[in-house]
Chains A and B, each alone.
Chain A
Amino acid sequence: MSLGVVALWVVALVALGLCFRHGGGKARRAGQDAGQALAKVLPVLLMALPMAAFVAELIPAGWAERWLGPDSGLAGIGLASLAGGLMPGGPFVAFPLVLGFLKAGAGPSQMVALISGWAILGLHRTLAWELPILGGRFILLRLTASFALPLLAGLLAELLLPLFPGIPLR
């Protein structure tokens, strides 16, 4: 178990302890909420995790290296931003896919752009959740204000990358 997981458990248990201090009812509701959320998340998760693995098997060898490699520069960052926007599903699909791309030789800056494109443009989330809850006008406002930001994130990563010798470049 990594340090991050341990830290997360500590924070979660502290929060649960704070609920207990507000009375047993809050803690019980928190436990029920967590259980219900797990029941909703787990089926989708168990179906989505293999999808990421299968898609990773299907991506031709060298694709990520050729188009999104560390030397692909601004073009690669732009392509990655767009590809991120089209990437389906929640974090359970996206991050395993990014791991697969990194192992296949994609550049870290391009992957920063990909994750940012997925988080900001994310077609799937926009259509499935934002449109029905907040409406088309909100989406227009948000996308106009933010569509160029994945590119900016990728360029920032290009600048900061020399400070991160722990990230391997293939």
Chain B
Amino acid sequence: MPAGPGGRSLPPRMLRRNATFLVIAALTLSAATAVWQLRGQAAVVHALLATWDLLVVVLPSILAGLLLSAALRQLVPPGALARWMGAESGLRGLLVATAAGMVMPGGPMAAFPVVLVLAQAGADRGALIAFVLAWSLNGFQRILVWELPILGPDFALLRLLCGLVLPLLAGQAARWLPIRWTPADAPGLQGTRPGPTPPEPGPGGGMPR
């Protein structure tokens, strides 16, 4: 995702993305070697066949999910919801944040930058925590693409029912806790401040304020 406050430092982001792939590749190869050594060749073949079955089931969902996620990013400006989620918003603010988190598509590379956007637009820490938990626990996209096809509708519904109120509880707890957090504490925001920032004085010109 090129958008978002972290987008300026491209090389570290690319490194991190490749690092994820390399770490997973290393884990997969070690797991494959271990299976080969401990359980023999038949077990390796069995695992690969299970992988293929799963891929056939999951791939159509992934394609649709990515398309939906991209279309929603074009349709819904993330900042549009923020004025409903301030510190005075009460339970309604937590409900709005929870709903926003559930419809938030995309992985962590999309969701955490949106937290920064919401915070700068006035969402308080309770709403931000509720947003993150609603996204990671009950994000519709993940439920539709992964949980429903793999684990089945009965289990997916049970799991969703058990997770439905947790973001509200966490958001309320975050409002009670004496741990303050502002966007200025975020490493992802350092050096990038969209919004009414005084223009930086050029080299040799202007006084530091």
Question: Residues on A close to B: CB < 8 A?
Answer: 1-2, 4-5, 7-9, 11-13, 15-16, 18-19, 22, 26-27, 29-34, 37-38, 40-41, 43-58, 88-93, 95-96, 98-99, 102, 108, 111-112, 115-116, 119-120, 122, 125, 128-135, 137-138, 140-142, 144-146, 149, 152-154, 156-157, 160-161, 164, 166-167
Contact = CB atoms under 8 A, between A and B. Distances in A.
A50 B48 contact: yes
25 contacts: A2-B148, A8-B65, A9-B60, A9-B64, A12-B65, A12-B68, A18-B75, A19-B71, A22-B74, A30-B74, A34-B71, A43-B21, A91-B142, A112-B159, A120-B136, A122-B136, A129-B109, A133-B113, A135-B186, A135-B187, A141-B177, A145-B171, A153-B166, A157-B158, A161-B158
Given A11-B68, A156-B162, A164-B155, 13 more contacts: A8-B64, A8-B68, A26-B75, A29-B70, A43-B21, A50-B51, A90-B107, A116-B137, A116-B163, A129-B109, A137-B185, A138-B185, A149-B169
B31 A51 contact: yes
Contacts of A31: 67, 70
B74 A29 contact: yes
A26 B24 contact: no
B144 A4 contact: yes
B60 A5 contact: yes
A119 B137 contact: yes
Given A51-B28, A134-B116, A164-B154, A34 B67 contact: yes
A141 B186 CA distance: 13
What does DSSP make chain A's interface, helix, strand, loop or mixed?
helix
A99 B151 contact: yes
B67 A5 contact: no
A135 B132 CA distance: 14
Contacts of A153: 159, 162-163, 166
Contacts of A27: 71, 74
A33 B70 contact: yes
A38 B63 contact: yes
A5 B185 contact: no
Max chain B Cβ within 10 angstroms of own Cβ: one of A8, A33, A46: A8
Given A57-B39, A90-B107, A92-B146, A141 B179 contact: yes
Given A15-B68, A157-B162, A137 B31 contact: no
Contacts of A57: 35, 39, 43-44, 46-47
Contacts of B51: 49-50, 52-53
B193 interface: no
Given A18-B71, A142-B170, A58 B31 contact: yes
